[in-house]
Structures are given as structure tokens and as C-alpha cells.
Structure 1
């Protein structure tokens, strides 16, 4: 939901920059809006993985048929699940690992958390770079104005 709202705000911002009467300096406004959208998207992707790990951790040991963790056995063949001893979870970076008795490990998410970690990190980095770029553009504009005065 937050990504959809952020995308709509970003589209409205881009359209507003193309129309007459746009705010000046418009590149700063556009970069700040893009940074806010990227930050919202990073938060949305990270929260998707965060709550997936949280729900997997919470389902473990909660009632009948909850050991081993459902994330370690749902969607996996019986040979993969055989010999599970425990699981490890992490919220930064996102992961839910299932550990067998022989020490081998497999991810508890069939889709994996790698794309969520990469997407949230790259979106957060993009947001930071856009904010830094907007600040640099403002500073550069102020220096040029001071030099011409």
C-alpha cells in the first residue's frame, strides 16, 4: 500500500514539474520527492521480509504440528526436511535458516530473502544519494548566485 501511494505521489510530482507554474528550483523538489518515494519503497520491501521472518519465528512452538518451524517444512520435500535440528533467524539481514543434524543449512523461504535484502538496501542507498544530490545542487546554485552578485 505504501509503495502504491508513494508511486502516485511521485507521478503527481513529475506531472506537476512539467506543467507551467511549477515550483522553483524544480530539480530539488523532484529529487526530494524521488528520495522520499525510494525511502518508502525500501521500508515497504524490508517490512515485507521482516514480518515474514517474524511470523515464521512466532509459528514455531505454537501448538500442535509447529516443531520444526513451519517455514522449514512447508513446501519442501520430506528428504529435505528429514533430520532438522533447529533454525536460526535474523532481522538484519533478513533470513530464516533451517539447520539439519549434520550441520547443513537451507533457507526457510522458498523464494529466499536475498532479493528483499538487496532491494531494500539499494532503495535506501538511492534515497540517500538523492538527498545528498539535492543538497549539493542547492549548494552549487547558491555559490553560483553569490559569484554573479
Structure 2
């Protein structure tokens, strides 16, 4: 768990450093042309943020998976039992985990499923949104650079 928090914290620091680069574009002395630089820096910020959120969820699923079968009262998985009332846990047969998308589902004998943690939904959504934003910003930066090069070629 400590490694997971460390990786997530490192990614969060990377996102903050990249965000500082985005903010620096507002000050005098920014590189010209400024639009592609701004988009590249914003893409880096979004990519680091996606990595931070995803690594937090990845290590949460990994920790839940590693707690299963380790010691007394570890079957069923503690993530499926801890914090739930007796009616919810009744008839629990096994669990399913996934790293893409992030999830740790608990399965009952009748086939019904409940999530061990509702936080996986926002982690999946946030990491996907940040990753998509990073990709679109990187494509936009490349397009802006190409457009500028074509315009200068036409003028020459």
C-alpha cells in the first residue's frame, strides 16, 4: 500500500509541476508560438493527473486482491466484508477483480454482484477523462504546429 501511495504521490507532484508550467505561460517571456507550448504543457498536466488517479485505484485493487487468502478471516476477501451489513454479505461466494477498468466486485451465490468500493467509478471516469484530454491536447498541439508551418510555407 505504501508503494501505491508513493507512486500516486509522485504522479501528483508531476501533475503539479506540469500545471505550474501551464500557469507560467501567463507571464511575460513565454516561448513563441505560445499556443502549441501551452497545449503540450496542459497535455502533460492531464497525463500526469490520469496516472495519479489510475495508480491510486490500481494499488487499491492490488491491495484488496493481496488481502484475499492471507491469514485468518481473509476468505471471503476482506474488501467484500468490511463495512457492509450482514444482509449484504450473506451468501458471498467469491470476488472478481479487474485493473482495466478498475473494479473489485463481490459475487453472491445467486449471481448478484456488488462493488467493494464505490470509489472505483469516479477513479475510472477521472482517469479516462484526463487521458482523453491529454490525447486531445497533444493532437491539438501537433495540429497547431503543422498549421503554423503550412502558413509560413505559403507566405514564403
User: Fold-level match, TM-score > 0.5?
Assistant: yes
State yes or no: 1:9 paired with 2:11. no
Alpha carbon RMSD of aligned pairs, Å? 1.2
Match of 2:139 among 132, 141, 147: 132
| 2: CA distance, partners of 1:120 / 1:103 | 29
Shifted more, 116-125 versus 21-30: the winner is 21-30
Helix, strand or coil for the counterpart of 1:29?
Answer: helix
| Number of the residue aligned with 1:141 | 148
Shift of 1:9: 3.3
* Contact map agreement 2:80 2:116 (CA 8 A) in 1: yes
Choose which of 104, 116, 128 in structure 2 pairs with 1:121: 128
Q: Secondary structure of the equivalent of 2:119? A: coil
TM-score by length of 2: 0.89
Please list every run of at least 4 consecutive aligned residues from structure 1 whose deviation after the TM superposition is greater than 4 angstroms.
Answer: none
Shift of 1:114: 1.1
Per the TM alignment, residue 27 of structure 1 is displaced from its structure 2 partner at its CA by: 1.1
CA distance, structure 2, for counterparts of residue 48 and residue 108 of structure 1: 15
Secondary structure of the 2:35 match is helix
Matched residues, number: 147
2:72 aligned counterpart, secondary structure? coil
Q: 2:111 aligns with which of 79, 103, 108?
A: 103
